[in-house]
Structure 1
């Protein structure tokens, strides 16, 4: 059986940062409902350090996670950072309680304050990847883009990215700065963002799926289980591996608060799916 041809182990974020394509999403290291401190802070610090030990060199977070808790834990656990570790964070969303809705605030003043806070909590002088968490519908998008471009010129951020955007919105942002990454919801079971993924691949932009296994709701599909059985792997590992094989610009950031689940997720990078496997999984997703 022929192996799927698109499986590079790394991707050059922004053209210059070599990233292992299986990273870590740090949303779940906070308290319940992504609010407040974790119940076991030392365990979350150990989880972050274990991720780096396993070869993770890209960690994704946001100032909203906690809020602020995820960034604080990353800074405490890993600073001063190993030279190859890249932390990407996001600003532009706010929330005022564990059950409250997410609210947009991508005004230049808020982004200025958010970026200052992220730099301080992460113990960094420059953030390697800073992403606009959402375009704010209350103001012209160019106001946010102009602030981000200026922050990059000032050396406060190295690369800039976007989250939950359309192709047209990426093109708009590209008039102000080079878009290094796009972070949209996408998985084997949720492929509405396929046109965005295609555009990012053409442009050399990293595509970072959030909810990369769709929350796990679709685990148990017969086709997925058959492929997992053939590789003596879990269905979660196969769903992650499908993403790595599907497009070479995909960077994965599965999140967890368990070292056991972290280690299971990392083994997904060892799977080599065949063309037959990919066809069967594509049928599942359709």
Structure 2
């Protein structure tokens, strides 16, 4: 039977099906009230891992989660990310791994989330203009100061993961991955071998939501939705996979969370596996 939980860093238990807060609107007030209701409903449904980032509304998403959920339940892990700079016209948002910039975003995250320590902090992207050791070294210093619990990465290659593990203890990786998007298959395999949590973002490919032929067939056989089938496949793919589907709808949230109870047969899993290869 598929394990329902995973112990991040060998010490922090979370339910494997999490929630991505990126799509929660923060303005106007009516939309914000709806977003707060969605975040609270996620916790009511047993979600214990919520993903956010400084990039999402330039801190507004973190503030929204604090308004909705603080003081946080003891079993709730909020993961955030740093390393992307706000737009500076005519440039759009850009990567920024300068140590002083990362330190400032961490301090902002602490204030916005109303905590003394960010339990899981991920580098949103590796900045190719700054030595990796400088980027991770700055975050490691903050970790030693007690401002960060655990460190992770996002959108990395196997090579970058290997180099990062020589500098810090990497406990999570957040890369794009789904039943129809296997670009980072090698990274997932590396995480599986090392026992590192793998948080696939965009875990339900748009084509899966609309129901490609193969996914639609399995959905019809199980009485589930195509999105639920896509999430159930991820949970079976590896015990380190922690999908973080996002939505601004309570109905859609409840549908996603229910995917944790969907069991696929060996034949269905093999057919789905062939779709992405």
TM-score, length-normalised on structure 1?
0.93
Alignment partner of 1:10 is 2:1? no
Q: Structure 1 residues 106, 271: CA separation in 2 closer, same or farther (over 3 Å shift)?
A: same
Q: Structure 1 residues 161, 24: CA separation in 2 closer, same or farther (over 3 Å shift)?
A: same
Could you tell me whether the CA contact under 8 Å between 2:99 and 2:134 is conserved in 1? yes
Q: CA deviation at 1:285?
A: 1.9
Residue 56 of structure 1 is matched in structure 2 by 47
Residue 156 of structure 2 is matched in structure 1 by 165
Residue 45 of structure 1 is matched in structure 2 by 36
Q: CA deviation at 1:147?
A: 0.6
Q: CA deviation at 1:96?
A: 2.1
Residue 195 of structure 2 is matched in structure 1 by 204
Q: CA deviation at 1:131?
A: 0.2
Residue 130 of structure 2 is matched in structure 1 by 139
Residue 252 of structure 1 is matched in structure 2 by 243
Q: Distance in 2 between matches of 1:25 and 1:214?
A: 14
- Secondary structure of 1:40's counterpart equals helix
Q: In the TM superposition, what whole-angstrom CA distance separates every residue of 1:46-95 from its partner, at most 9, and x where no partner exists?
A: 11100000000000000110111110010111111000000000000123
- Secondary structure of 1:161's counterpart equals strand
Q: Show the 5 A alignment for 1:170-189.
A: 170-189=161-180
Q: In the TM superposition, what whole-angstrom CA distance separates every residue of 1:149-193 from its partner, at most 9, and x where no partner exists?
A: 111111111100000101111111111211000000111011010
* 1:276 aligned to which of 261, 267, 273: 267
Could you tell me whether the CA contact under 8 Å between 2:208 and 2:215 is conserved in 1? no
* 2:62 aligned to which of 67, 71, 87: 71
Q: Distance in 2 between matches of 1:121 and 1:74?
A: 9
Q: CA deviation at 1:100?
A: 6.5
Residue 130 of structure 1 is matched in structure 2 by 121
* Unaligned runs of at least 5 residues, structure 1: none
RMSD: 1.7
Q: Structure 1 residues 55, 98: CA separation in 2 closer, same or farther (over 3 Å shift)?
A: farther
* 1:22 aligned to which of 17, 30, 39: 17
* Unaligned runs of at least 5 residues, structure 2: none
